[in-house]
Amino acid sequence: MLAFSIFATEGGLFDINATLPLMAIQVVALTYLLNSLFFKPVGNVVEKRERYVSSNLKEAKNKLVEVEKLEADLLSQLQSARTEALKIVNEAEKDSDKLYQEAVELANNEANASKEKSRLEIESQTSSARKQLSDQADEISELIVNKLIQSK
pLDDT of residue 98: 95
- Burial track 7-18 (b if 16+ CB lie within 10 A, e otherwise): eeeeeeeeeeee
Domain boundaries, the chain: 38-117
pLDDT of residue 1: 43
In whole angstroms, give the CA distance from residue 115 to residue 111. Answer: 6
Please give the average pLDDT of every successive group of 10 residues along the chain, which has 152 residues.
49 65 89 88 91 96 96 96 96 95 94 93 92 90 86 74
pLDDT of residue 5: 47
pTM above 0.85, yes or no: no
- Burial track 56-94 (b if 16+ CB lie within 10 A, e otherwise): eeeeeeeeeeeeeeeeeeeeeeeeeeeeeeeeeeeeeee
In whole angstroms, give the CA distance from residue 52 to residue 55. Answer: 5
pLDDT of residue 15: 60
pLDDT of residue 59: 96
